[in-house]
Amino acid sequence: MITVMKFGGTSVGSPDALRRAVNIIINEKNDKAVVVSAMSGVTNFLVGAVDDPPSNRDEIVRQFEKKHLDAAAQVLEGEYMDGFMKEFEVRMSKFRELIDSAEARKDPYYRDNVTSQGERFSSLLLAHMLRAAGVRAAALTSEDCGITAEGKPLSGSADLQRTEAQMAINVKPYIRDGGVPVITGFYGVKDGYPLTFGRGGSDYSAAVVANALNADVLEIWTDVDGFMSADPRIVPDALLIDEMSFGEAAELAYFGAKVLHPRTIEPVRMKHIPLKVKNSFRPDVPGTVIHHLRKPTKGLLKSVAMKTDLSIISIESAEIAFYPDIVGRIIGKIAENEVVIYSISTSLSTVAFLVHSNDIKAVLNNLNTLSTGDIERIEVKNNVALICAVGDDLLARCGVSGDIFMAVKEARANVEMISEGASDVSLNFVVPMSKVTDVITMLHRKYVRGDQ
C-alpha cells in the first residue's frame, strides 16, 4: 500500500511544525511519498520579489537564504547539517543565478520559476530531517520526478498520463526499495521550464502524485481539523464533517471552503483514491474522509459555504436567447483575462455573470470591444456574496428550494441570483454582502443542526 502525504505551508512553516511533520511521516506504516508546500510566507515573499523587486537583488537572496538556514540550524546538526548544506548550496547557487539574470527575466516562465523556489528548499529541509530520524529519504524536484505540465504561465495543469509514465520510472522503484521521496508541490515541468498550478496548487500536486503512483490514500495535512459544516469564524457551533463524497467536497472547495484547492479532487476521483484531510497540529483528530461513497446525513444540508466580494454583470441584448453566438462572444471576452465565472443566469434578453469584484474593470474593458449591435446595456451590481448549500441528492428531494429560500426570507435577505441543477449535491444563490452572515447562520441552525 502507498500513502501520499502532503504538508501545507503552516505544517512545514517553523522548526516545531517540521518536527511534527517528521513524527507524522515516521508513524505512517505504509510505503509513502511526501509532497510539500513552501514554508509559510515564502511564496508571498517570492511573488513580491517578482512584482516589486528591491533595487538591491542581493537582499532577496539574503532574506530567502536566512529563512531556511535559521530553520535548519534549529533542527539539524553534525553530519546531517553538513549533508543538508552541501545540497542547499547547490540549490542556492541556482536561485542566485535566477534572481541575478536579466536574460532569465525575459522568459515567459520566469515568474513560475521564481515563485516555485520555496518548495525546492522546504522539501530539502524535510528530507534531511527524516534522514536524521533514521528514514531513507530523498528530496526530489518535480523535474526529478517527471511531473509533466501543460498550459499557460501561472496556470498549468498536469498531464496525468505522461506524469504516471515518468513517475513509474523515476519514483516508484525508490518507494518499493523502502525510500521516502519528499517531492516539491505547486508546479510541474513544461518543455524544461517550471509551470505552476496556481496559488494553493500544492494540494493539486499531491493529488497528481497520488494518481501517478496509484496510491491507496492521499492525506492532506493542514492547519484545520477537516471540512466543517460552516466557517467556524461565522458559526461558532459548526460541526466537523467526518465523511463526504468527492462531489460534495469539490463543490465546497470551489465555492468558498478554504480547506482544499478546488482542483485537488479530480485526479484522485478518477481512480477512486480516498482523500483524508487532517490537522498536523492535532494529528489525533480523525479529520474528514472524502471518497466515492456517500454517507446520508440526518439534516437537509451537510454544509454551507460562501464566496464574498463578488459582483453581478448583467448584459442586455434583444432576444439574446435566440442568438447563442452572441453569448459565446461575451463569454470569450470575459475569459480573455482568465476571469473565473462563478455562475451564469439567462433570460430572453439578458445574460448575467457572477465574477469577483477585482475582475470587473478588466471584464468591462473587454466587453466594450464588442460590436455595439451585440450589447444594448450593461449593469453591474456590486457587494454580493455567493452561498453554496451542500447536501445529499438535493435535486431529488421535493421542496428543497422552498425550504432553503424560506430560511433566506427569515434572515430578511433578498436572493439576487440562483444556480440550481448543475450539481445534484448543491444549490447556489447570491445575496447582498450585508446579509451573508445572517443567511449562513440561519441555514446552519435550521438545516444542518436541525434546530427548527
Q: Which three cell numbers stand for residue 74?
A: 534549529
Residue 423 clears pLDDT 60, i.e. is over it? yes
Q: Strand 193-196 vs strand 303-316: parallel, antiparallel, or unpaired?
A: unpaired
Q: Look at domain 303-448 and name its CATH class.
A: alpha beta
Does the pLDDT at position 297 exceed 70? no
Asked if 156 and 194 touch (Cβ cutoff 8 Å), the reply is no
In the chain, % of residues over pLDDT 70? 96
Amino acid at residue number 77: E
CATH 3.40.1160.10 location in the chain: 2-223
Kindly report, residue by residue over 181-209, the tens digit of the pLDDT.
Answer: 999 999 999 999 999 998 789 999 999 99
C-alpha 106/C-alpha 108 separation (Å) is 6
Write out the DSSP string of 85-122: HHHHHHHHHHHHHHHH-TTGGGSTTHHHHHHTHHHHHH
CATH number 3.40.1160.10 is the correct assignment for the domain at 2-223: yes
Report the pLDDT value the prediction gives residue 401, as an integer from 0 to 100: 86
Amino acid found at 247: G
Distance (Å, rounded) from C-alpha 59 to C-alpha 49?
Answer: 10
The mean pLDDT of 321-350, rounded to a whole number, is 85
Inter-residue contact 127 to 91 (CB < 8 Å): no
Those residues whose C-beta lies under 8 Å from the C-beta of residue 369, and which sit 6 or more positions away, are: 333
Comma-separated ranges of CATH 3.30.2130.10 domains in the chain: 303-448
Of 186-190, 215-219, 448-452, which gets the smallest average pLDDT? 448-452
